[in-house]
């Protein structure tokens, strides 16, 4: 399952921050469908950046800012939006 691969890589890439990131990802389940989160995890695994930040940024890219504003802390939305725009450009340019 893609979530297992994602979390294994998260542990390797961000060992110091595993628990806070897991809590963050767990909170996303209240607002986003499991299938959408799995698609985001699949993207993260493909680009080999497995983190809550990358997943949240992908969700902003995929699902839009309006939902993100209801889900994510206001002081972090700007950072997610910047990365979401980079993701959009990367996907449109065929980098991933």
pLDDT-derived band at 48 (thresholds 50, 70, 90) equals: very high
pLDDT mean over 16-34? 94
Domain of residue 9: give its range.
Answer: 2-92
Number of domains comprising the chain: 1
pTM of structure: 0.91
Q: How far, in Å, are 2, 43, 57, 60, 95 from residue 89 at the CA level?
A: 24, 14, 13, 14, 9
* CB 72 within 8 Å of CB 52: no
Q: Is the pLDDT of residue 96 over 70?
A: no
């Amino acid at each position: 399952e893609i979530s297992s691969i994602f979390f294994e890589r998260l542990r390797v890439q961000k060992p110091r921050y595993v628990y806070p990131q897991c809590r963050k990802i767990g909170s996303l389940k209240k607002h986003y469908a499991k299938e959408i989160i799995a698609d985001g995890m699949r993207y993260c695994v493909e680009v080999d950046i497995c983190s809550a930040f990358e997943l949240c940024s992908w969700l902003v890219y995929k699902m839009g800012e309006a939902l993100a504003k209801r889900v994510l802390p206001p002081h972090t939305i700007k950072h997610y939006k910047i990365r979401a725009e980079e993701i959009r450009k990367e996907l449109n340019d065929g980098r991933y």
